[in-house]
C-alpha cells in the first residue's frame, strides 16, 4: 500500500488532479489509504451511502417553519466531536432569533436530538446508479459519492434559507452541505490536526487564542476566526492532590499521525506495566473508533471513562489528544507524551500540556515526583491552569454576535 508523505501533500495532489472537488474527497481517501483494501473500502462506502440515502426520510417533527431563517446544525456524528459540539450552539441560535433545524446523517438515531428541534435527513430522488463512475478507482468512487451527497443534501434543504453550523467542514456530508452556498460556520470540536486544513467554512468559531493562532498559522484568514469556547472550560476543576493512577490515552485509530504511532504507544504501555509494577494502577483509555479492541497489556476502558469521572486525580499521558484537555478540565494531571512524530503542529500547539515526558520511565518519574515534591506539585498545577486559561477564551457571545452579523447580510 502506497501511503502519502503528509496530509498536505496528499491533498495538494488531489486538488491538482480534480480541482476543488479534490478538497471534498481529501479526508475519506487519506484515511482509506491507511487501512486494508482501500479500493474495496471506497466502493463499499459508495454502496453503503447509496443504500442509506435511498431510505425514505421520516418527516421532520415538528416541521421546520418557513417564516424565519434557519440555523441548520449539520450532524454527521453523535458524540462530543459531533452533535455534542453542535448542541452547545443552541442557546446562541435561539438568542439570535433563528429557527434551529438539524440536518442529520441517515445513520444517526432520532433519539440523539432534542424532540423540540426539527430533524431533516439527506435523501436521494431517483436511483443512485445515475451517479456511478465510469472509472473503477478509489478516486472515481469518492467523486461519485460526492455527487450523490450533493444531490441528497440539496433535496433536504430545498425551500429553506439561513446559516449552516458544522462540527467539521471536511467529511462527505459536510462538504456537500457547504456546496449549497449558504453562509457557513464551523465550530471547533477538538485539537486541529492537519485534516482540518485548509479550513473551508466561511467562519471558524474556535476555543481561544491558541486555536486561533493554529488556524492562522495554517493559512486561515484571521478575519474568519471568532473566539467562543461555547461553555467549555466553565466548570474546570483545579488539580492539587497527587495522582492516584496512571492512564495512557490510546489513539491507534488516528491515521493522521502516521503509521508509527500505534507501535510507539504499545511500547510505552509495555514499559509502563514493567516499571510501575503493582504500586501504580494503570489503564489505557481507548477511543470509540478503536471499537473496543485493546492492543495493550493493560486494563482498558471506552468512553465515558470511569477513570476520568472519578474524583481521585490520575496522571493522564496523551500524544496530541483532545482528551488531555478534557482530563485537565475534569481535575486530572496531564502530560504530553512526546514521541517525536512529525506533522500536526496546530494540534500540538492546542492539545499539548506544559508537563512533558518522552518515555515510560520519565512518566513514572513524573508520577513519583508529583507525590514526593509539594513545591513542584504546586508549580505544575499553576502551569496547567495557565495552559487551560490560554486554551479557552473568556468570550461568551462570539457565536451570537457572528450569527447576528451573518443573518443581517
H-run or E-run covering 316: strand 315-318
Of 176, 164, 182, which Cα lies nearest the Cα of 131?
A: 176
Contact 184, 169 (CB under 8 A): yes
Strands (E), 140-234: 162-166, 184-187, 203-206, 225-227
Q: Which secondary structure element, helix H or strand E, spans residue 75, and what is its range?
A: strand 70-75
Total-model pTM: 0.92
Q: Among the listed ranges 60-69, 154-163, 173-182, which one has the minimum average pLDDT value?
A: 60-69
Domains of the chain as residue ranges with CATH: 53-132+146-232+397-407 (3.40.50.2000), 246-391 (3.40.50)
Question: Residue written as cell 457557513?
Answer: 184
Tell me, what's the pLDDT at 127? 59
CA atoms within 13 A on the CB side of 156: 34
Q: Give the H or E element holding residue 267.
A: helix 261-276
Whether residue 377 is predicted with pLDDT greater than 60 in this model: the reply is yes
Burial 117-148 (b: 16+ CB within 10 A, else e): bbbbbbbbeeebeebebeeeebbbbbbbbbbb
Q: How does pLDDT run across 190-226, given as a tens digit for each residue?
A: 999 999 999 999 999 999 999 999 999 999 999 999 9
pLDDT band at 12 (very low <50, low <70, confident <90, very high): very high
* Statement: residue 132 has pLDDT above 60: no
Q: What is the pLDDT of residue 129?
A: 52
What are the grid coordinates assigned to 67, written together? 417564516
Which triple of cell numbers denotes residue 298? 493493560
Q: Three-state DSSP class for 181?
A: coil
pLDDT class for 1, splitting at 50, 70, 90?
Answer: very low
Cell of 179: 456546496
Q: φ, ψ for residue 71 (rounded to 5)? A: -110, 105
Q: Quote the longest CA-to-CA distance of the chain.
A: 69
Q: Does residue 133 surpass a pLDDT of 60?
A: no
Residue 237: pLDDT band (50, 70, 90) is: confident
More confident residue, 79 or 248: 248
pLDDT tops 90 at residue 118: yes
| Banded pLDDT at 128 (limits 50, 70, 90) | low
Q: Which residues contact 43 (CB under 8 A, 6 or more apart)?
A: 138, 141
More confident site: 121 or 66:
121
Name the nearest CA neighbour of 175 among 154, 195, 149. Answer: 149
Taking a C-beta distance cutoff of 8 angstroms, is the pair 315, 367 a contact? Answer: yes
310-354 pLDDT per residue, tens: 778 999 999 999 999 999 999 999 999 999 999 999 999 999 999
Better-predicted residue by pLDDT, 258 or 57:
258
Q: Are residues 274 and 246 in contact, defined by beta-carbon separation less than 8 angstroms? A: no
pLDDT at 409: 67
CB atoms within 10 A of CB 373: 13
The pLDDT > 90 percentage for the chain reads 69
**What is the number of residues in the chain?**
409
Q: What is the mean pLDDT of the chain?
A: 90
Transcribe 351-395 into DSSP letters: H--S-EESSHHHHHHHHHHHHH-HHHHHHHHHHHHHHHHHHS-S-
3-state secondary structure of 399: helix
- The x, y and z cell numbers of residue 355, run together, are 508537563
Residue with the larger pLDDT of the pair 136 and 35: 35
Lowest mean pLDDT among 51-60, 72-81, 94-103, 243-252: 51-60
342 burial level (CB within 10 Å; 0-12, 13-18, 19+):
exposed
The C-alpha atoms of residue 261 and residue 63 are separated, in whole angstroms, by 47
Those residues whose C-beta lies under 8 Å from the C-beta of residue 127, and which sit 6 or more positions away, are: 54
Where is pLDDT greater, at 281 or 5? 281
The answer to whether the peptide bond before residue 196 is cis (omega within 30 degrees of 0) is: no
Amino acid at each position: 500500500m502506497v501511503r502519502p508523505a503528509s496530509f498536505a501533500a496528499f491533498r495538494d495532489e488531489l486538488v491538482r488532479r480534480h480541482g476543488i472537488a479534490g478538497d471534498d474527497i481529501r479526508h475519506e481517501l487519506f484515511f482509506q489509504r491507511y487501512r486494508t483494501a482501500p479500493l474495496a473500502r471506497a466502493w463499499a462506502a459508495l454502496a453503503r451511502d447509496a443504500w442509506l440515502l435511498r431510505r425514505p426520510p421520516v418527516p421532520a417533527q415538528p416541521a421546520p417553519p418557513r417564516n424565519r431563517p434557519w440555523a441548520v446544525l449539520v450532524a454527521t456524528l453523535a458524540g462530543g466531536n459531533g452533535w455534542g459540539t453542535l448542541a452547545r450552539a443552541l442557546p446562541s441560535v435561539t438568542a439570535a432569533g433563528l429557527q434551529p433545524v438539524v440536518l442529520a446523517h441517515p445513520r444517526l438515531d432520532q433519539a440523539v436530538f432534542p424532540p423540540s428541534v426539527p430533524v431533516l435527513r439527506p435523501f436521494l430522488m431517483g436511483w443512485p446508479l445515475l451517479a456511478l463512475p465510469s472509472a473503477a478507482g478509489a478516486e472515481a468512487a469518492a467523486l461519485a459519492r460526492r455527487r450523490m451527497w450533493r444531490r441528497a443534501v440539496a433535496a433536504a434543504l430545498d425551500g429553506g434559507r439561513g446559516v449552516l453550523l458544522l462540527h467539521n467542514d471536511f467529511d462527505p456530508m459536510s462538504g456537500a452541505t457547504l456546496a449549497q452556498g449558504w453562509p457557513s460556520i464551523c465550530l471547533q470540536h477538538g485539537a486541529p490536526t492537519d485534516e482540518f486544513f485548509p479550513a473551508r467554512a466561511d467562519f471558524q468559531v474556535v476555543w481561544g487564542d491558541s486555536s486561533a493562532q493554529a488556524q492562522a498559522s495554517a493559512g486561515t484568514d484571521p478575519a474568519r476566526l471568532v473566539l467562543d469556547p461555547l461553555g467549555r472550560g466553565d466548570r474546570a476543576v483545579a488539580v492539587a492532590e497527587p495522582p492516584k493512577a496512571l492512564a495512557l490515552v490510546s489513539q491507534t485509530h488516528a491515521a493522521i499521525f502516521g503509521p508509527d504511532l500505534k507501535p510507539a504507544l504499545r511500547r510505552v504501555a509495555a514499559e509502563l506495566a514493567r516499571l510501575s509494577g503493582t504500586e501504580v494502577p494503570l489503564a489505557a483509555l481507548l477511543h470509540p473508533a478503536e471499537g473496543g479492541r485493546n492492543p495493550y497489556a493493560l486494563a482498558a476502558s471506552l468512553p465515558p471513562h470511569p477513570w476520568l469521572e472519578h474524583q481521585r486525580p490520575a496522571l493522564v499521558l496523551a500524544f496530541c489528544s483532545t482528551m488531555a484537555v478534557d482530563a485537565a478540565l475534569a481535575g486530572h494531571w496531564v502530560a504530553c507524551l512526546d514521541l517525536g512524530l512529525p506533522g500536526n503542529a496546530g494540534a500540538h500547539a492546542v492539545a499539548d500540556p506544559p508537563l512533558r515526558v518522552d518515555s515510560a520511565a520519565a512518566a513514572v518519574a513524573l508520577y513519583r515526583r508529583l507525590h514526593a515534591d509539594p513545591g513542584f506539585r504546586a508549580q505544575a498545577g499553576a502551569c496547567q491552569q495557565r495552559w487551560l486559561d490560554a486554551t479557552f477564551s473568556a468570550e461568551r457571545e462570539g457565536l451570537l454576535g457572528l450569527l447576528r452579523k451573518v443573518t443581517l447580510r
